[in-house]
Amino acid sequence: MSVHTPLQGFVLPGSLALRLAALLMGAALVAGAASGWIATRAAADEALQRVMRQQGDEVQTLARVLASKIEQSQKVLRTVAAGITPQMLEAPSSLEWLLQQGLPAVQFFDAMQVARADGTLRVNLQYGVQGEAAALEPAEREALRRTLMDGKPIVSELVGSRTGDARVMFTQPLHGADGSLTGVVAGALRLQSQGLLPASMAPPEQSGSRLVVFASDGTILSHPDPRRVLGKISDEPGLAQAYKVWSAQNEAAAAPGRTEVVPGFVVSLAQMPLPQWTVARVSEAQALLAPLEGTQRRAWWLAVLAVGLIALLGALLSLWQMQPLARLRERAWGLAQQGDFEDSIAPAPLLGDEVGTLTQLLDSLVLERSGQALRDSALTGSLQAILDHAPVGIVITRAARLSMLGRQAAQMLGYNTDELLGQPVRALYASDAAWAQGEERARAAFAAHGAFDGDLCFARKDGSPVWARVQGRAAEAPGMSAGIVWILEELTAVHEARRQRRHERLHDPITGLPDRRAFEERLRGVLLGLDESVAAHGEALCGVVMYLDLDHFTVVNDIAGHTAGDDVLEHVARLLEAQVRQAGWVARLGGDEFVVVLPNCSAAHGLAVAEQLRAAVRAWEPVYGGRSFTLGVSIGLVPLTAQLRDVAAVLHAADMACYEAKRAGRNCVVMPVDRPEPAATEHEVLLNK
């Protein structure tokens, strides 16, 4: 029997092959164009998201700086109030001397007023000069009156209608030795003063971008264009629409900052808690994305060129790969012209006859069947050698027992081959439950697909887990009753990497603590199990949630730098974990805010633990750059009850309690207590006009 010699030289394929080549080229072009478009869109979206994050971080930083200035002004005013005695309120001359020369802190303010508890204005200093009581603006009188009525310090709304006179008023109640209200002291700062909104506060202006600070009523307090100060944000392109969307979604009161994309603009807003001012960065979207457009055009041209070359190369390669098919077509045509099938078995003519070659091959296969039994016997003898030298682990099971396995599979599992032969498959699992679960998965896969392909966790001889991708196929007949060939590819490192990535997604990169998302998921599980906790331990032991806010953390950041700030956060995280590791867990919400959850804990024990945490943080005095820093922590504690089933409600209640701790002087623990609202006072003292 002759063997056909392949036809030499290039043979033009038929129409089917040419259509396939054209289809391949078209598919390559379409795929390349689609990939380029998707990559371009993804790059644009990623660039926009990166700019939005950077811009949002900028306005939040400026909002924090401005909030610290407000807080510093209040501290200075408290210092002034501490130096005013009740006797001075009866002696205007001594009080005026004290404010002008006795207290250096007074020079911080542009204007100072002092009034007695009955509303009589004792001192009205304007830039260090005594003025008339009638010179006070109505808004200033109202701020003094509210402080005398409520006994609380306030930060007023904007006072003054002209840019040069616009100012903010701070008030502080005066108390006697017995705690009674004796009067009020107030200080005013102009908007453009160094203590409030100096021009040096804002970062350098960018082309197509502007930084704006405005009050809750929409009045502009700071603007690159001085003519826009005291104007309304409703006239600001982009900012008005973004603030309207932000307010409509009730985000202004719930979130510290947000970035909105409105037609033509990217607007980032960050709100200050006191006063209700908002810092905004308004950037033109076209200006932000202009550098990317040139890069995209170049990338498009390169992609078009690359895709065209790939498509052309693919078409040529496909034509070359289709040469056997072309030769087969030529030989089939030659066979049809000869019209004698028997002649096709004879040696092929000069141009060849592929049909004749196929006939010869089929005839050869028939002859080879006679030697199949001998080859099967040889293959059986060689099977174990193949299994032992295969680069992957191969296992053959019959009747749920290990019938044959290669050396790679045995080494993967920590055994010698002889130790596993004949053993039940159960020996490869750590427990009966794991074996039953794997068995059920395999049965379901074979029932649905006739094969198995998935990841399974086995137990090594030393008990350590080993993950493998397992592919199973029936060796003799469909179903698991016959012998099954399993191919094992170790994936322990892959699964560990996945676990590590999941850990990184749900944990804070600085402290290693669970982040806000992980905290909310875990607290949600605690809340769902409250009924069982109440049944097992009683309602008094449902647990507590603590909201912790570091005091004076911004001082470390501002003076020692963010590296020192990150070190403080990491140390505080370890400190908190060490205190509550046996009873609960800690998470970082962001910034200098942490949360501690103590399940199955009473309120009394929670208060004791909170006090331990407060004392531990207070006792630590870090040193950076040769300077020692004193920290504190304000803690709001909320007991979990059957009525608190919502994560947001629990977190809000704890946050409010922490806010009360801040208001109470910081570095303390506050747990809200249900009590009736105090009755309104029957007498109100008004200021004399």
pLDDT digits (tens, 9 = 90+) for 132-180: 766 788 888 888 889 889 888 988 887 876 766 778 888 999 888 888 8
Q: Using alpha carbons, list the distances in angstroms from residue 32 to 44, 215, 248, 398.
A: 18, 51, 43, 48
Q: How confident is the model at residue 324 (pLDDT cuts 50, 70, 90)?
A: low
Cα–Cα dist 71/666, whole Å: 13
**What rounded mean pLDDT belongs to the chain?**
77
CATH class held by domain 196-289: alpha beta
User: At 287, is the pLDDT very low, low, confident or very high (cuts 50, 70, 90)?
Assistant: confident
Flag whether pLDDT at 307 surpasses 80.
Answer: no
| Exposure string over 197-226, b if 16+ CB within 10 A, otherwise e | beeeebeeeeeebbbbbbbeebbbbbbeee
Give the pLDDT band of residue 77 (cuts 50, 70, 90).
confident
Domains 71-190 and 196-289 share a fold: yes
* Cα separation of the two ends of the chain: 126
pLDDT at residue 107 tops 80? no
If one compares 12 and 446, the residue with the highest pLDDT of the two is 446
Q: What is the CA radius of gyration of the chain?
A: 40
- 555-558 LR contacts (CB < 8 Å, sep 24+): 555/629, 556/622, 556/624, 556/629, 556/631, 558/68
**In sequence order, which residues have a C-beta less than 8 Å from that of residue 195 and are 6 or more positions away?**
69, 72, 73, 108, 109, 189
**Position 46 pLDDT exceeds 50:** yes
Q: Which residue has the higher pLDDT, 606 or 408?
A: 606
**Domain layout of the chain by residue ranges:** 15-45+290-366, 71-190, 196-289, 382-497, 506-670
Asked whether residue 602 carries a pLDDT value surpassing 60, the answer given is yes
Lowest mean pLDDT among 273-287, 345-359, 533-547, 563-577: 345-359
Distances (CA, A) of 637 to 385, 557, 565, 595, 655: 68, 27, 25, 10, 9
For the cut 70, the answer to whether the pLDDT of residue 359 exceeds it is: no
- Considering only the top CATH level, what class is 506-670? alpha beta
The answer, yes or no, to whether residue 341 has pLDDT greater than 50, is no
| pLDDT score for 418 | 82
The CA-based dihedral angle spanning residues 670, 676, 681, 687, taken in that order and rounded to the nearest 10 degrees: 30
Name which of 390, 398, 376, 382 is nearest 484 in CA terms.
398
| pLDDT average, residue stretch 31-37 | 75
Under CATH, which number does the domain 71-190 receive? Answer: 3.30.450.20
* 640 closest CA partner among 554, 527, 480, 538: 527
Higher-confidence residue: 219 or 333? 219
User: How far is the C-alpha of 154 from the C-alpha of 184, rounded, in Å?
Assistant: 11
- Give the span between the Cα atoms of 599 and 344, in whole angstroms: 86
Confidence of residue 203 (pLDDT cuts 50, 70, 90): low
Say yes or no to pLDDT of 449 above 90. Answer: no
Topology adopted by domain 382-497: Beta-Lactamase (3.30.450)
Is 155 in contact with 74 (CB distance < 8 Å)? yes
25, amino acid identity? M
Q: What is the average pLDDT across 412-424? A: 84
- Whether residue 344 has pLDDT greater than 50: no
Give the model's pLDDT for residue 347.
42
Average pLDDT value for residue range 103-126: 81
Query: By the 8 A CB rule, do 522 and 507 touch?
Result: no
Please state the pTM of the whole predicted model.
Answer: 0.40
Query: What pLDDT score was predicted for residue 291?
Result: 67
d(CA 468, CA 455): 6
Task: Identify the pLDDT of residue 680.
Answer: 33
Tell me how far apart the alpha carbons of residues 281 and 309 are, in angstroms, rounded to a whole number. 46
Instruction: Work out the burial of residue 571: count CB atoms within 10 Å of its CB; fewer than 13 is exposed, 13-18 middle, 19 or more buried.
Output: middle
* pLDDT band with cut points at 50, 70 and 90 for residue 686: very low
Q: Residue 643: which pLDDT band, with cuts at 50, 70 and 90?
A: confident
E strands of 361-426, at which residues?
Answer: 393-398, 401-405
Q: Please compute the mean of the pLDDT values over residues 655-668 and round it to a whole number.
A: 94
Distances (CA, A) of 130 to 100, 121, 454: 10, 12, 85
pLDDT exceeds 80 at position 416: yes
Residue 353 has pLDDT above 50, yes or no: no
Q: Are 456 and 467 in contact (CB under 8 A)?
A: yes
Q: Is the pLDDT of residue 654 over 90?
A: yes
pLDDT at res. 131? 74
Q: Give the Cα separation of 657 and 369 in Å (integer).
A: 87
pLDDT for position 668: 96
Report residue 367's pLDDT band, with 50, 70 and 90 as the boundaries.
Answer: low
The closest of 589, 587, 582 to 605, measured between CA atoms, is: 582
Q: How far is CA 183 from the centre of its chain?
A: 49
Q: How many CB atoms lie within 10 A of CB 435?
A: 19
What number is the average pLDDT over the span 87-99?
78
Task: Work out the percent of the chain whose per-residue pLDDT is above 70.
Answer: 76
Contact at 8 Å (CB) between 343 and 64?
no
Lowest mean per-residue pLDDT among 1-5, 265-269, 282-286, 518-522:
1-5
- Look at the block and give the residue holding tokens 């008094």: 540
Token pair belonging to 598: 């103590």
Query: Tokens 């009955």 belong to which residue?
Result: 118
Closest CA to 103 of 85, 121, 122: 85
Write out pLDDT tens, residues 544-585: 999 999 999 999 999 999 899 999 999 999 999 989 988 899
Pick from 597, 626, 600: nearest CA to 613: 597
* 185 neighbors 174 (Cβ within 8 angstroms): yes
Q: What is the pLDDT of residue 381?
A: 63
Residue whose C-alpha is closest to residue 639's, from 648, 650, 647, 630? 650
Per-residue model confidence (pLDDT) at position 329 = 65
Q: Which of 194-198, 403-407, 456-460, 626-630 has the lowest mean pLDDT?
A: 194-198
- DSSP strand pairing (593-599 vs 543-551): antiparallel
Question: Hey, what amino acid is at 217?
Answer: D
Are the C-beta atoms of 468 and 456 separated by less than 8 Å?
yes
Rounded mean pLDDT, 50-60: 81
**pLDDT bracket for residue 336 (50, 70, 90):** low
Q: What angle do CA 448, 453, 457 make, to 5 degrees?
A: 120
- In 539-584, the DSSP E strands lie at 543-551
Residue 425's pLDDT is 86
Instruction: Evaluate if residue 638 carries a pLDDT over 60.
Output: yes
Q: What letter does residue 350 receive in the DSSP assignment? A: T
